[in-house]
Amino acid sequence: MMPIKTFVSERRAANLLAQIRWRDGVYCPRCRDESVIRYGSYRVFQRYLCKDCDRTFNDQTGTVFEHSAVALRKWFLAVYTYIRMNTSVRQLDAEIDVSYKTVYRRVQRFLRALDAPRPHLKGPVEIDEFYVKAGLKGRERDQPSRSRGLSTRGRGTYAEDKLPVFVLADRGTGERHVIPAKAATESRIRLLLAARQQESLTVYTDGFRAYDPLDEDDAFTRQYVVHGDGEYVDGAVHVNTCESHASLARRWLSPHRGISKDRLTPYLRAFQLRREVFRKPGKEALKTTLETAL
């Protein structure tokens, strides 16, 4: 159920922000000192005074919600529906009655604040890649625009406006990670698999030649299926989990009508967060969403 009360009460929204923001104790966002005292209020937010640097701050200071004339409850609703329901920015501007540019800038600020994925691979691990057509949308160009289709076929690179996105599915922990790259190369694959908990990691792949050097490395036990030969499953050897997760990622990107390759990473981090809160109740999902950016 959606946390409706938080979305209609500014004080409830402010209390939730304070609860999450100071979950490890109140500290000064400027000098990081914990010698702070309550110092009145600012609108519905608690105000504080740092006894070390003698500066004041409130619950919003230093967060993605600071310096905004828009009610905090509206931003909470925007963030919640964006992550939980994959609502487009254009629809958000109509729902919360805030201009498109204002919503877009705040959403982008929220996305940039999301943590990068930190895989700790237990294994066995599936790894596969898919490709996203992403050009220079929203960025000034020094040359005429190309066709919207971005017609590069097959595998591509960042320079070709067709970015590889790796999917890692750790069968040992059940975690799945979606990580974009500038090119699908051996060095990038090794970097993705470096954070492993075992000396020899079992890796399941398809027949893409960039994975071939793993066969000669004692740190990995590679097993693979060759899709080009019509081979998709060989006992426990397959990358079906990765392909399923990739299809969900494509659907996540679809409503946003084309994404700049410079901003693809934050959008995929939002997708990771969406999968994390997918089965959680509304209030818990909102708290988890805010905790990732505060």
Nearest one of 278, 285, 274, 276 to 83, comparing CA atoms: 274
What does 77-139 look like in DSSP terms, one character per residue? HHHHHHHHH---HHHHHHHTT--HHHHHHHHHHHHHHSPPP---B-S-EEEEEEEEE---TTS
pLDDT tens digits along 69-104: 899 999 999 999 999 988 888 899 888 889 999 999
What total of structural domains would you count in the chain?
Answer: 2
Kindly state whether residue 84 falls inside one of the protein's structural domains: yes
Nearest one of 289, 290, 291 to 276, comparing CA atoms: 289
Using the Cα atoms of residue 13, residue 16, residue 20 and residue 25 in order, give the sign of their dihedral: positive
In the predicted model, is pLDDT for residue 146 greater than 80? no
Kindly state whether residue 145 falls inside one of the protein's structural domains: no
In the predicted model, is pLDDT for residue 2 greater than 80? no
Q: Do 17 and 47 sit in the same domain of this protein?
A: yes
Kindly state whether residue 288 falls inside one of the protein's structural domains: yes
Q: Do 167 and 250 sit in the same domain of this protein?
A: yes
What pLDDT sits at residue 151?
52
Top-confidence residue, 208 or 115 = 208
In the predicted model, is pLDDT for residue 135 greater than 80? no
In the predicted model, is pLDDT for residue 7 greater than 70? yes
Kindly state whether residue 265 falls inside one of the protein's structural domains: no
In the predicted model, is pLDDT for residue 192 greater than 70? yes
Contacts of 269 (CB under 8 A, 6+ apart): 111, 114, 115, 116, 117
Nearest one of 293, 10, 254, 287 to 132, comparing CA atoms: 254
Kindly state whether residue 189 falls inside one of the protein's structural domains: yes
Per-residue pLDDT, averaged over 148-175, amounts to: 79
- How buried is 179 (Cβ within 10 angstroms: 0-12 exposed, 13-18 middle, 19+ buried)? buried
- The backbone region for 174, taken as left when phi is positive above 0, alpha when psi lies in -120 to 50, beta otherwise, is left
In the predicted model, is pLDDT for residue 123 greater than 90? no
Percentage with pLDDT > 70 across the chain = 93
Crossing angle of helices 264-277/72-85, nearest 10°? 80
Contacts of 147 (CB under 8 A, 6+ apart): none
What pLDDT sits at residue 1?
66
Q: Do 224 and 159 sit in the same domain of this protein?
A: yes
What pLDDT sits at residue 211?
92
What pLDDT sits at residue 161?
80
Q: Which domain holds residue 58?
A: 4-113+280-292
Assign 141 a pLDDT band (cuts: 50, 70, 90).
low
Give the pair of three-digit tokens for residue 244: 């399923």
Q: Do 27 and 97 sit in the same domain of this protein?
A: yes
Q: Where residue 191 sits, what CATH number does that domain have? A: 3.30.420
Range in 114-123, 201-210, 261-270 the model is least confident about? 114-123
**Rounded distance, CA 132 to CA 243, Å?**
14
Does residue 180 have a cis bond before it (omega within 30 degrees)?
no
